[in-house]
Structure 1
Amino acid sequence: MPIQHTLARPALLAASIALLVGLSSDADAQRRRAAAPKGPPPVTACTDLYSFANKDWLAANMVVAGQGTRSALGELQALALTQQHDLLNAAMTSPQNDVQRLLGDFWASGLDEAAVEADGAKPIASLIARIDGIRRTRDIAPALAALHQVGIPVLFEFGAEVDLADLNRHVGYFTQGGLGLPDPAYYSRGDAETQQIVSQYTQYVRNILALTGTAEDRLDAETALVIDLERRIAAASKPLAELRDPRAQYALVDTEGLDKQYRRLQLGEFLAAQGVQATQVSLANPEFFTQLDTLVNSLKADQWKAYLRFHIGNAMAPYLSKSFRDAEYDFHGRILRGETAQPERQQLVLGAINRAAGPMMSREYVAAYLPDATRARAETIAGQVRDALGRGIERNTWMTPAAKTEAKAKLAALQIEIGAPVQDIDYTVQPMGRASFGSNMLIASTWRHAQEMRRIGQANAARRWDVLPQTPALAYDLAQNRLIVSAAVLQPPVLDVAAEAATHYGTYGALVGHELSRAIDIKGKLVDSSGTVRTWWSTDDDAGWLTATDKLVSQYNGYGYPGLTGMQVNGALTRDENAADLAGVELAWDALQQANPELAQSGKEAFFRGWAQLWRQQSAIDTATRNAATSVHAPGQWRANGPVSNLPAYTETFKCGANDAMTRKAEDQVRIWR
């Protein structure tokens, strides 16, 4: 306010002028505020639950291009890794049992970079010597079997998977493989981008051959031999699109006649070398294996030696000296995976331990990080959500009576497994020591492969998981009709035992509901209550599902993609996951209401805030752009807001008005199980 110069006046007049000036000043300010453009209205639970519940976190976790995504579940993954690091550090310094001693030695050998450098290629020297000993055709099949034994699959893949005719049994699957590039089409496509990758791969093959002992004057010739053999394998392979349906890779054959049918591959002898005694295996592409058998007979030993030596180096490169690691990263990491930096040493070693000795880590992790009280709480809520799904089936309006009957039967048979699977692991492993990380990797990989081979021919599929308990995971296992809840996922933000009890339902309970709903929805319809692979929905059920979820497609199509200008969420791409999110919230809310009929207002609000906080997420523009085009999940903002806006209980809880953004008209609301 400008200084006003006045002549001397009577005191009363002067005071009156000062008072008027003050009033005038306030009036001016009010006029300026009225004229100023209005800022955005404050965010409330009725305008944007996601931003309301996550305001502080979102402000503190901005990301820029190249930084990927930060999220609540990403923080949980980071916590699980830190816990594993702590466990291994303790096992390294003061092991309390034999398994901890093995893990501690494995960890110490991997962290000792000086020892790894000094070791060079020594860990694979015996394997290379075995390959260099190939002289004639009959030497090739035993060499292939020996490499598979140590966990290095060459020429083809062979592993234990569930029998599609008996989902409780494992069978051995012979499938195509043997290539260094991820898709057989790379070897035949002629476009410039593919040709560039093939050229870069060829250089990588040359680098690895040099590191595994090929003389300089032989490098170009041996590199050409490797590429030529892989082109032949690729030409015999089926396109990956034809193999996405598991049934395309399933055909039981008797093992007794395999040696006669594939005389050079000697697949019967191969099975004996793996310790497999089953009378049947799956071999769905006999033409592929016939072509491989022909290649074994027709190609010279030197070509096989070059191919096998490269694949030994390729498989083991991340666990050897820096020259190997750099070569592997330059191609696989930078070119194929698009990475911008090599993993830190601890990350690399932990990944190796989980790949080769994951079940050993599992036992120790569960003992250290899953309290009995947490397990009990998880079991209680999961059971309550399962009961809510039973009520949801009864209420359901889009399922036919026959489908409802089968859905109830399947739900009655469903198992819930918390923490870790029942394991039949033999922990007898030869001592590792701390001298050689690469050698320890081979020891552990050989042990793990033997454990996998033990599954074949056994009715033990329900005794294992396809996920490690130390990895945060909450998933429905379609083959075994069970809910799998890993030990690592039972921590904040999924299950924070210190939080208000109602929050547990909005986080963990809703995720349980999401997965349990998959047992009887568009995914679960493929396996019935007896474990038979068949579609038990009728065409009317399919139509009912589409009618219900078409509204979700429209709803999510209307959401802008966070961080991207002019980009919308793809409602069709994300349809099934959006439906499962909605199902999860519906079922968890029902379970909470049944468990707490007199739930206080604070508990109701805590339920919804917990759900929203589960999906807090910030993605860099490049990551968001990629996810918008390919991800089957909606971005975090709409995973939080989309489902709850379909629940009348949400608007009732927060007393939202008819015109608030989080309020959907009754006729537009989607219901799956409420």
Structure 2
Amino acid sequence: MTRTPIASALAAGLLATLASLPGHAVEACTDFHGHANATWLANHVLPEGVDAVTALGELESRVRGQQVALLNSAMQSPENEVQKLLGDFWASGLSEAQVERDGAQPLGPLLERINAIRRARDIPPTIAALHQVGIPVVFNFGADVDLRDLQRHIGYFTQGGLGLPDPAFYTRDDAATAALMERYREYVRQVLVLTGTPERRAAAEADQVIDLERRIAAASRPLSLLRNPEASYALVQVDGLAGSYPHLQLDQFLQAQGVDSTVVSLANPALFAALDGMVDDLKPAQWRAYLRWRVGDAMAPYLSKAWRDIHFDFHGRVLAGRQAPPSREQQVLDAINLAAGPMLGREYANRYVQPATRERAEQIAGQVREALGRALQRDTRLGPEAKAEAAAKLARLSIEIGTPPRDLDYTVQPMGRGSFGGNMLIASTWHHREQMRRIGEANAHRRWNVLPQQASLAYDIAHNRLVVTAAALQSPILDATGSLAAGYGSFGALVGHELSHGFDIHGRMVDAAGELREWWNPAEVQAWRTLAGQVATQYSRHDWPGLDGRKVDGSLSASENVADLAGVQLAWEAMQASASGSEGDARREFFTAWAGLWPQQLSTAEATRRAATSPHAPGKWRTNVPLMNLAAFGEAFGCKASDPMRLPPADQLQVWPQP
């Protein structure tokens, strides 16, 4: 439901008036989440077949609509060269008739390159060429932060090249896996036929593809071992690659990607030795089949219906359990975000972020940061050395709002409206080029790992910065038409939540200089763990809404729960230190805005899944528990000492000692 600014103001005033009346004070002091979100919950009955409806999910839907509106405008009357590119990309994807006429033509040059392989030495240049257009084959190569020098990005050679998401699929022999592999073999066969393989040879070539992938999988590491970033980190000298892997030609691969670096990470030399041997040992015909298959599978979502149908049947239905593909509009939007996301993000921010909104965000975030500085210095759990390090780290912390501070090079081959698949390759080539440019000294901070059109606030631990995207600068996170007090309660509390991660059990692992070093002593670590244990116990007393007999797993969500408590407390202190928090209405608006972030309706299945796996508490307790621990909430709503929303002072948990 969309409200006008006047209607929003009237509704906020009505809520404040109702909250001040005795009958409604009891309701607010019993379950503030249900009280503050009563209208939302009444208006959002869970539709049949939908697992979750949330306030933040509604924001995501609104953001998608904004992107569609921007692309429609760019298609009809572009205002600059980037919009011209986006408008043509969008138009080419929406024209399904044109996509059908285009058929598999976008693959023509790639398939010609692959079919020209005659000898082993032809294989590595083809692998490099496919990586250049954003189709990683045989292995993965990408830019990421150097774990020993967080100020730079390096290139990482890692395992990949498989059509199935887990190497274990290729080695397990249980009945379910065998059935999946038969479905997979048929899908490979279908793709090969569409790439030009005669029907009479397609089954044999599909077997060759799976044999090659099985060899890659056998040399790959289990996914469970790769959850630790250290497992993918091992620096090697680039000038030694040619001697170690003479058939793969990895040194020439780097040159083709435009990477000029003396070191890269290659943490599984056994895998790359096996790949090097495969280049020399396997016949070129088998490599041609594999590479055609990988290109066809990667590009199938962007080609004609025959390609899209078989791709969804396997990836959508078999692997993901989806019943139907998304709408054509959503498919094209997803493709643009994947290949040209930064282009769309730049234009999205220019269109939807007003200077006044950015200024309000900067004001609130800056004041929450100041409140954190004061809180750290009075924190009795930290000793003098840790406080000094915390102060230095906070002084270096940057807050980046809207878009990354450094823009990209938007020099791109013109797209036109004739070929959606061709445009996808043009955009993917550009995206890969810009990713490769991240590799280099003092270069790690140049881009975000999230797009401006994705609603997100996140603390980037590697670079000690808070990232606030353009899409996050709207209701319910930051309502530019609402009161400043409400902005502290929603946006400010989320800022405090994220900033606290720089100074918690995880943030202690990166110091002020950006080096991986533990700067807490054992007593300080134990003090934090004691607090986290107390928070876990407190949350675990509460029932999971909608799940009879099941309690919140406070241990599973302890880290995020501590951050919620910390964020609300910091935002409250920041508001009190400003000129915005002295009036009763402002105080109630603060708490109502916090509650407005978390309304949700979940199916039983979704609630059960989240109860077992989510690092966050359910919305009811994300709202209520931080407020139960803040005496100012009970004072603002006139709660009695016996009310559920007002914990006894001895039971109130404070992440930061009160000023």
CA deviations 1:585-627 (Å, max 9, x no partner) are: 0100000110037611111111001000111111122211211
Would the aligned equivalents of 1:253 and 1:282 in 2 still touch at CA under 8 Å?
yes
2:399 corresponds to which letter in structure 1?
Answer: I
Would the aligned equivalents of 2:458 and 2:498 in 1 still touch at CA under 8 Å?
yes
1:603 to 579, 582, 586: 586
1:317 corresponds to which residue?
Answer: 300
| 2:330 corresponds to 1:347 | yes
| 1:557 Cα deviation after fit | 1.3
| 1:43 Cα deviation after fit | 6.8
1:134 to 108, 111, 117: 117
2:51 corresponds to which letter in structure 1?
Answer: G
Q: Secondary structure at the match of 1:45?
A: helix
- Cα distance in 1 for residues equivalent to 2:223 and 2:580: 52
Q: Secondary structure at the match of 1:173?
A: strand
- In the TM superposition, 1:25-174 aligns within 5 A as 44-64=27-47, 66-174=49-157
- In the TM superposition, 1:124-523 aligns within 5 A as 124-523=107-506
Q: Secondary structure at the match of 1:180?
A: coil
Residues 136 and 594 of structure 1, relative CA distance in 2, 3 Å threshold: same
Q: Secondary structure at the match of 2:168?
A: helix
Q: Secondary structure at the match of 2:468?
A: strand
1:19 corresponds to which residue?
Answer: none
Residues 180 and 106 of structure 1, relative CA distance in 2, 3 Å threshold: same
CA deviations 1:448-489 (Å, max 9, x no partner) are: 111111121242221211111111111001111000011110
| 2:513 corresponds to 1:530 | yes
- Cα distance in 2 for residues equivalent to 1:625 and 1:192: 28
| 1:199 Cα deviation after fit | 2.7
Q: Secondary structure at the match of 1:449?
A: helix
Would the aligned equivalents of 2:246 and 2:276 in 1 still touch at CA under 8 Å?
yes
| 1:658 Cα deviation after fit | 2.0
- Cα distance in 1 for residues equivalent to 2:255 and 2:488: 50
- Cα distance in 2 for residues equivalent to 1:666 and 1:249: 48
- Cα distance in 1 for residues equivalent to 2:584 and 2:249: 70
Q: Secondary structure at the match of 2:239?
A: coil
Unaligned 5+ segments in structure 1 are 1-39
- Cα distance in 1 for residues equivalent to 2:366 and 2:180: 51
- Cα distance in 2 for residues equivalent to 1:424 and 1:366: 12
Would the aligned equivalents of 2:485 and 2:580 in 1 still touch at CA under 8 Å?
no
CA deviations 1:295-338 (Å, max 9, x no partner) are: 11111112111111111011111111111111111121222223
Q: Secondary structure at the match of 1:573?
A: coil
Would the aligned equivalents of 2:580 and 2:586 in 1 still touch at CA under 8 Å?
no
2:312 corresponds to which letter in structure 1?
Answer: Y
| 2:568 corresponds to 1:585 | yes
| 1:64 Cα deviation after fit | 4.8
- Cα distance in 1 for residues equivalent to 2:110 and 2:391: 54
- Cα distance in 2 for residues equivalent to 1:648 and 1:250: 47
2:60 corresponds to which letter in structure 1?
Answer: Q
| 2:599 corresponds to 1:613 | no
| 1:539 Cα deviation after fit | 1.9
**RMSD, aligned α-carbons:** 1.6
Q: Secondary structure at the match of 2:338?
A: helix
Normalised to the residue count of structure 1, the TM-score between the two structures is 0.92
- Cα distance in 1 for residues equivalent to 2:193 and 2:521: 60
CA deviations 1:81-110 (Å, max 9, x no partner) are: 111111111110011111111110000000
Between the aligned residues of both structures, percent identity stands at 57
The structure with the largest alpha-carbon Rg is: 1
Q: Secondary structure at the match of 2:53?
A: strand
- Cα distance in 2 for residues equivalent to 1:240 and 1:203: 25
Would the aligned equivalents of 1:65 and 1:621 in 2 still touch at CA under 8 Å?
no
- In the TM superposition, 1:544-563 aligns within 5 A as 544-563=527-546
Would the aligned equivalents of 2:25 and 2:638 in 1 still touch at CA under 8 Å?
no
Residues 504 and 261 of structure 1, relative CA distance in 2, 3 Å threshold: same
- Cα distance in 2 for residues equivalent to 1:540 and 1:505: 33
CA deviations 1:224-246 (Å, max 9, x no partner) are: 11111111111101112222222
1:632 to 593, 611, 615: 615
Q: Secondary structure at the match of 1:46?
A: helix
1:271 corresponds to which letter in structure 2?
Answer: L
1:204 corresponds to which letter in structure 2?
Answer: Y
1:103 corresponds to which letter in structure 2?
Answer: L
| 2:634 corresponds to 1:651 | yes
- Cα distance in 2 for residues equivalent to 1:465 and 1:652: 41
Unaligned 5+ segments in structure 2 are 1-22
Would the aligned equivalents of 1:65 and 1:622 in 2 still touch at CA under 8 Å?
no
- The range that moved more, 662-671 or 502-511, is 662-671
Would the aligned equivalents of 1:64 and 1:620 in 2 still touch at CA under 8 Å?
no
Would the aligned equivalents of 1:66 and 1:622 in 2 still touch at CA under 8 Å?
no
- Cα distance in 2 for residues equivalent to 1:617 and 1:475: 21
Normalised to the residue count of structure 2, the TM-score between the two structures is 0.94
Residues 494 and 291 of structure 1, relative CA distance in 2, 3 Å threshold: same
How many residues are treated as equivalent by the alignment? 635
| 1:41 Cα deviation after fit | 11
Q: Secondary structure at the match of 2:531?
A: helix
- Cα distance in 2 for residues equivalent to 1:79 and 1:598: 30
